[in-house]
Homo-oligomer: A and B are copies of this chain.
Amino acid sequence: MNKELFLVAWLCLVLPNIYAQNVDSLQIRKIYEEIMLRGKAYQHLDFLCNKIGNRISGSPQAAASVEWTRQIMDTMGLDTVYLQAVMVPRWVRGDKEIGKIMTKMGNFEVRLTALGSSVGTEEKGLLAPVIEVKDLAELKKLGEKNIKGKIVFFNRPMNPLEFDPFDAYVGAVDQRGSGANEAAKYGALGVIVRSMTSNQDNFPHTGNTRYEADTKKIPAVAISTNDAEKLSTNLAQEPDLKFYLKLNCQMLPDVLSYNVIGEIRGSEKPEEYVIVGGHLDSWDIGQGAHDDGAGVVQSMEVLRIFKRVGYKPKRTVRTVLFMNEENGLRGGNEYAKVASEKKEKHIAALESDSGGFSPRDLGITADEKVWQKMQAWRALFEPYGILRFLKGGGGADIRPLNRTQNTTLVGYQPEPQRYFNYHHTEADTFDKVDKRELELGAVNMAAMIYLLAEYGTE
């Protein structure tokens, strides 16, 4: 090839890319300006947190959040807004829990939160000696002769040497998720779990616990990290102290609830779906602001902004607000099941369920070819705070789509250090969310959904 011909060929290859990148960067800038100047995510979060409040699956507030988000999306000029029915568990806490460390020196009240799905105690409560363990392996080693008739106290902290507290959480949460079920196998009467947080603080953090069908269901609670230290110290001084526990929670029959779905039909490939979502339900303490009010209002903002800036997506784009992420994942499972039944080809799904913090990373679960294609987009995000695309990531609600359809998953992973300060506690309230940080999350989510809707994953 002579030099001139080579140059022309090179230009033909490169110029369209440069042109596309420029068009994309202008489109994303438009999205950014609209959100930063006239965004509604923060105002929506205020309403969801302060007017509706926390909204555990099956609660009246969960029903209110379904109706309210449906109405909000109805005002956006989308092509469709609809509810997708799903039966969800209905767990209720009942009257406030009571917990006491009973020692020779006296009795000390301890703040408790029942773990989600836990059974209650008998009416008179549960009084039993306590045995402290670090992990499930230690429980197994101690066996029935040391465990039977006792309350097992799981006290392994989240590892402070994990840079990312989400990794530390994954390394500790088996105590909360399986502790009660495993301890029951050795005859334990109840379980106390150290709260899942890197902080030393006074908040008990709830979260789900799971029973296997054939295991006796025993009551399970979390205590704050400060109280966990105190209980551990007391136990060292007086190994035969007792703990009094009174829980009033119970599981009621399943009730009807909904995923809330808004849609803009694709202009060129309507049969390919790109979705963005968060989960509507929260735990029943605090306001579910970071978990996951933030993800909900950001996901609604994506479609609203597309309409505002006049962007017509080539592929069908949906906002999906999932019900029941916290204690059952019924919404996520139902959505994937219906998508398969209707043969809706979901090429990509993005979830925001790591808090409304400042943008930092996107985590991507995709085949290598798709990953490579998406890598080329990274520079478009840097002006808005996303500095890395990391391999792996998604979200609990969209994972079923990946399993059934090999859908590419994107997890919005903002700055992670403060998430577990608030997670599943009464401290997860609206005032903990910064307006600009929340909005910048919506900007980056909208940018990624735009690119996926425009270019697909092929």
Contact = CB atoms under 8 A, between A and B. Distances in A.
A417 B436 contact: yes
Nearest to A440: B417
A171 interface: no
A358 B417 contact: yes
Interface in A59-94: none
Interface string A21-62: 000000000001100110000000000000000000000000
A418 interface: yes
Contacts of A435: 199
A174 interface: no
Given A358-B415, A417-B358, A198 B160 contact: no
Interface in A130-161: 160-161
Interface in A356-389: 358, 360, 383-385, 387-388
B434 A163 contact: no
Contacts of A165: 436
Q: Which of A384, A388, A436 has the most CB of B within 10 A?
A: A436
A163 B385 contact: yes
Contacts of A32: 161
Contacts of A384: 163
Counted per complex, copies of this chain come to: 2
A454 interface: no
Contact of A434 (B358, B417, B434, B440): B417
Interface in A406-458: 415, 417-418, 421, 434-437, 440
Given A415-B415, A417-B358, A161 B36 contact: yes
Contacts of A417: 358, 434, 436-437, 440
A384 to B, nearest CB: 6
Nearest to A416: B358
Contacts of A161: 32-33, 36-37
A440 to B, nearest CB: 7
A210 B32 CA distance: 36
Nearest to A421: B434
A157 to B, nearest CB: 11
A47 to B, nearest CB: 17
Contacts of A383: 163
Nearest to A199: B435
A387 B387 contact: yes
A388 B387 contact: yes
A61 to B, nearest CB: 28
A314 B32 CA distance: 48
**Residue of A161, A388, A415, A440 contacting most chain B CB atoms (<10 Å):** A415
11 contacts: A32-B161, A33-B161, A36-B160, A36-B161, A160-B436, A163-B384, A198-B436, A358-B415, A360-B360, A415-B415, A417-B436
Interface of A: 32-33, 36-37, 160-161, 163, 165, 198-199, 358, 360, 383-385, 387-388, 415, 417-418, 421, 434-437, 440
